[in-house]
A and B are shown apart, each in its own frame.
Chain A
Amino acid sequence: MNASRKFDPYAYVWRLPLLLWQGAFFVIPLIFMAAMSFWLVKNYRMEPTFVFDNWERMLGRGAFWDAYWITLWRAVLAGVIASAIAFPASLFLAFRLTNSGRRFALLCLIVPFFTSFLVRAYAWQVILAESGPVNAALGGLGLGPFTMLNSGFGAMVGYLTLVLPLVVIFQTWSLAAIDKSLIEAAGNLGASAWATLVRVIIPAAKTGLVLGALFAFIMTFGDFVSPFYLGGSKPPTLTILIIDTTKSGQQWPRAAVVAIVMILTLFAVATAAVKAAYRGRG
């Protein structure tokens, strides 16, 4: 018998709290939500039953699909833009700083999380307002004023505020972990700085780069604050659709349909991304 396969009560005791937590606050609510999506609301009260009315109503509506595609598109865009903006910074942090300098920089990247995202979104409302400092500065150059709030641009500013520090952390961590002799070997075999970046550094850091973009996608896909407070709910995203549905006539079952579609989408994207991130690895 393999000793490691034997029942080890000690190991199970340590795993138990996590299992209980996940069971009580994730698996059971998820099952409840899935069941609820087949219930009906009558006189503002939910009645347990098993009908497909909510699913037909939500998935048959053009507005739902409009919200779905705009949410998906914005999440993809935020993942791409955040990765592109973060990459030069991550290269600098990974290759131009000493170990202690890099530790300090990563600590600084955690500091934004000390403040609630809602507070940071309000701060952007002031900065991006019609009469805010950005427009004042642009006005001094004879430009604007621009409408930045309550638009796709405003929402994207919010998304990037939310995800950029995390993407930089992921990228820096994976770039700094590259074996330095691989980079030297590339130059030694005739690769210019650019060829080394494209042919060696990016492939070697692929796992962290993909996971960083995936996290940006996941957080943007489920964010409610940015599209609501900075995007002005125009057009509504899936998160805003959930709020609206629950507010109008206590339609919790229909909101559950939206939530389940979101979870399935995230699951599919995350599975594909993780597969891509680790492809070609042992």
Chain B
Amino acid sequence: MNEPLVQFRAVHKRFGTYVAVKSLDLDIQRGEFLALMGPSGCGKTTTLRMLAGLEAPTSGSITIGGKVMNEVPPHRRDTPLVWQSLALFPFLSVVENVEFGLRMRGVDARERRERAMMWLGRMDLKGFESRRIDQLSGGQRQRVALARSLVTEPEMLLLDEPLSALDAHLVIRMQGVLTRLQKELGITFVYVTHSQSEAFAMADRVVIMGHGAIEQIGRPREIFRGPKTRFVAEFVGRNNILGGTVKAGLMDSAQGPVSVPAPDGPAEIVVAADRVTVSRNRPAGTAIQASFLSEEFAGTGIICYFETAEGAEWKAQVSESQLAELQPESGQSFWLSWDPARAHVMTG
């Protein structure tokens, strides 16, 4: 494998007494679409801002292209960032916004106009070049911000929750635009988000961060189906977590004994909501009992919420026809079962 484009080595970042990022080690490969994901305050934005030089690490080193960048000011880097607020200049026209980076690099007027117009064309913004920013729609502004960042042909593009202000249908469209763009340009995208649908839909690799540290790195499917820690299991997807001590393939969980294919000792298993079967009568095999709370229509199906006698919340994904068949009412008791082989045993 080639040398990674970016290397974080033992990076710490403190603001006063608050530790935003601790002992961060991370390699970012050339040409990959990497998503940094986590709840607010997990350090993902700070990590991105350190990459852009907007924050300096308290200790550790950040190298880009083999060069230590810790003390290099933002304007001497080539790490354009797309802000959550987009940060377009309201006093400049669309084309002047796009030209800005080229102007700062001393590109002459004719060439920079040509290159800016080329990018506006590529972003479907032909004819909008002399508009003011406040005369554009949200989606158009988004594309201006992308054109402005990409016009200098950087090796890497940083994006800080760029889609969080858009309507749901526009988010899906822009995800398509971003992934296509990244494949066409072949450059590195580092994308910060708290939305797992955005991260899992676009990224080659996802980094889950919590409390300033990396919890797990992997391909979207690996993280979705194989969370390593309880933090990841709770943050990603709709997971049910069950803990206890395993003895001879049986775990003495709070919900009673369940079959777990793991060696003896303490363990935690994760059962994804879409792998739980709901039935009124006790099925054969591994099952626990819980009372129905409510249902919620999600994009992929219906999520039913249950509560066990011990007070643990369980989620199960069912189809519309299954729901019609079950006709659950609040407080009714059901059996939740799963195939023990498809439960994920956490190792982290």
Segment at the interface with B among A46-54, A119-127, A140-148, A179-187:
A179-187
- Rounded to whole Å, the gap between the CB of A281 and the closest CB of chain B is 8
Return chain A residues, CB-CB under 8 Å to B101.
189-190
Contact of B54 among A179, A188, A192 (CB under 8 A): A188
Q: Tell yes or no: B109 within 8 A of A by CB.
A: no
> Which parts of A181-206 form the interface with B (CB within 8 Å)?
181-182, 184-192, 195, 199-200, 203-204, 206
Q: Is the CB of A187 within 8 A of B75?
A: yes
Chain A positions within 8 Å of B81 at CB level = 185, 188
Judge whether A280 and B132 touch: CB under 8 Å: yes
* Alpha-carbon separation in the docked complex, A195 to B74 (Å): 13
Give the residue name and chain of the B residue nearest to A204 (CB). Answer: B91
Interface 1/0s, chain A 155-199, versus B by CB < 8 A? 000000000000000000000000101101111111110010001
* CB contact between B89 and one of A184, A188, A192, A200 (< 8 Å): that residue: A200
Q: Is there contact, CB below 8 Å, between A181 and B91? A: no
Residues on the A chain within 8 Å of B103, using CB? 199
Q: Chain B residue with minimal CB distance to A181?
A: B87
- A188–B85 touching, CB < 8 Å: no
Interface SS of chain A: helix, strand, loop or mixed? helix
* CA A102 to CA B255, docked complex, whole Å: 59
Q: With A188-B54, A188-B79, A282-B132 as given contacts, are A195 and B104 in contact (CB-CB < 8 Å)?
A: yes
Count contacts on A: residues with CB < 8 A to the other chain. Answer: 21
| Nearest-Cβ distance from residue A279 to partner chain B, whole angstroms | 9
Evaluate contact between B85 and A187: CB separation under 8 angstroms.
Answer: no
Closest beta carbon of chain B to A208's beta carbon, Å: 13
B73 with A282: CB separation less than 8 A: no
Give chain B's interface residue range (CB within 8 Å of chain A).
20 to 34
Q: Which of A179, A182, A190, A206 meets B75, CB within 8 Å?
A: A190
Interchain pairs with CB closer than 8 A, number: 63
A191 neighbours in B (Cβ, 8 Å) = 75, 100, 104
Q: Which residues of B contact A179 (CB under 8 A)?
A: 85, 87
B80: chain A residues at CB < 8 Å are: 188-189
Residue of B with least CB distance to A180: B87
- In the assembled complex, B259 has its CB within 8 A of some CB on chain A: no
Residues of A within 8 A of B90 (CB): 204, 281
Q: Are A187 and B73 in contact (CB under 8 A)?
A: yes
B52 to chain A: which residues have CB within 8 Å?
188
Asked if B89 and A182 sit within 8 Å, CB to CB, the answer is yes
How far, in Å, is A244 (CB) from chain B's closest CB?
A: 46
- State A191–B89 Cα separation when bound (angstroms): 13
B169 within 8 A of partner (CB): no
B205 within 8 A of A: no
Residues in B69-101 with C-beta less than 8 Å from chain A: 73-75, 79-81, 83, 85, 87, 89-92, 100-101
- Assess whether B83 is in contact with A181, with CB atoms less than 8 Å apart: yes
Q: Which residues of A contact B132 (CB under 8 A)?
A: 280, 282
- Report how far A182 CA is from B85 CA in the complex, Å: 9
A129 shortest CB reach to chain B, Å = 47
User: Complex formed: what's the CA distance from A201 to B101 in Å?
Assistant: 16
Q: List 26 A-B contacts (CB under 8 A).
A: A181-B85, A182-B89, A184-B54, A185-B83, A187-B73, A187-B75, A188-B52, A188-B80, A188-B81, A189-B75, A189-B80, A190-B75, A190-B101, A190-B104, A190-B152, A191-B75, A195-B104, A199-B100, A203-B91, A203-B92, A204-B90, A280-B91, A280-B132, A281-B91, A282-B132, A282-B134
8 interchain residue pairs of minimum CB distance: A190-B104, A185-B87, A181-B87, A187-B74, A189-B101, A203-B91, A282-B134, A187-B75
